[in-house]
A and B are shown apart, each in its own frame.
Chain A
Amino acid sequence: MSNKKEWPLWEVFIRGKQGLNHKHVGSLRASDYKMAVDNARDVYTRRSEGVSIWVVESSNLYASDPDEAASFFEPADSKIYRHPTFYDVPDDISHM
């Protein structure tokens, strides 16, 4: 980017309907949280995608380090006993 001052970046989370979680849908630029909510409404809910909006300034998010992915996530791969797959599910229980 040039040295032109840009508005901060915001991450947008939308709740699809009552009872569901807010989900990350994308990001946008806005000068403050009010404008961010309005812009999110205009950009991400045009097709009735949601009933509630959260915005978080991207600079307030902290992420895991991709270089640490191996030590972070791979140890879980070998712990199959953490999945509840050792139970016999009776035949007449559906949706499991």
Chain B
Amino acid sequence: MNNKLFEYTLRIADDSLILGQRLSELCGHGPILEEDIALTNISLDLIGQATNLLEYAASIENKQRDADKLAFLRVDKEYKNSLLVEQPNGDFGSTIVRQFLFDSFRRPFFEALASSTDESLAAIAKKSLKETKYHLKHSSEWVIRLGDGTSESHQRVQKSIDVLWRYHSDLFYEDEVDLALVSENIAPSFKEIKKEFNQHVLAVLEEATLKLPDNNWEFTGGRKGMHSEHLGHLLAEMQYMQRAYPNMEW
């Protein structure tokens, strides 16, 4: 059971870690000063969540790997984040759509995880939920502004939805790891979460005069360590310092 709990915690942690790293790339490059700070705040929230989760994962694993080692010294196949969060930032609309799909998943997920029988996961979920609610408000409002904005912003954000929607099912990927933990009431079942996800996404898209793409091409694999080519490039940058100067601290 501990192996499964470790794996499960890693999946949650890596979603936060990798998306936090992606958003940090925008520090100093946001479209306007205020939004630059907003995206960096979200990035820091996510990295904070990742820290808590990786510390917990390290304690479950109990193999003298601390949170830093887990964050910086795994190879790409050992990262269990969903495919969605590793996708490149693209234009601002694409950054926002990725964030919107992720936040729409994360809010009901943390809500449900907050009543996990695992006290550590429940506590982390409770703390992260407050941040996530704000992230979702932020990304939802931007989807509406861009979708219902100018014809240029509408067309660009619709294109981002068409491209990124294919990765959303990876958020709901479920295998023996989840099922075992669901039966112990440690992990919430994705059924209700997906319902809430769909409801929120559709309501916001309608207000934004946007729609889901017609084709339902779907990618999964992130939870098993099968990633798109983008993750390796991200890791190269993220891990550079620890790889070049092992155990360095500052």
- A residues apposed to B, CB below 8 Å: 7, 28-31, 34-35, 38-39, 41-43, 46
Contact = CB atoms under 8 A, between A and B. Distances in A.
Given A43-B37, A46-B41, A38 B32 contact: no
Contacts of A28: 33-34
A7 B34 CA distance: 12
B141 A38 contact: yes
A87 B32 CA distance: 55
Contacts of B134: 41
B34 A42 contact: yes
B138 interface: yes
A29 B31 CA distance: 12
A41 B41 CA distance: 10
Interface in B123-145: 134, 137-138, 141, 145
Contacts of B70: none
A41 B138 CA distance: 11
Nearest to A36: B34
B122 to A, nearest CB: 25
Of the candidates A28, A31, A34, A38, the one having the most CB atoms from chain B within 10 angstroms of its own CB is A38
B32 A34 contact: no
Contacts of B41: 42, 46
B37 A38 contact: no
Contacts of B34: 28-30, 39, 42-43
B141 A34 contact: yes
B38 A42 contact: yes
A60 B137 CA distance: 27
A91 to B, nearest CB: 50
Contacts of B33: 28-29, 43
Given A29-B32, A42-B37, 17 more contacts: A7-B32, A28-B34, A29-B33, A30-B34, A34-B141, A35-B145, A38-B38, A38-B138, A38-B141, A39-B35, A39-B38, A42-B34, A42-B38, A43-B33, A43-B37, A46-B37, A46-B41
B38 A35 contact: no
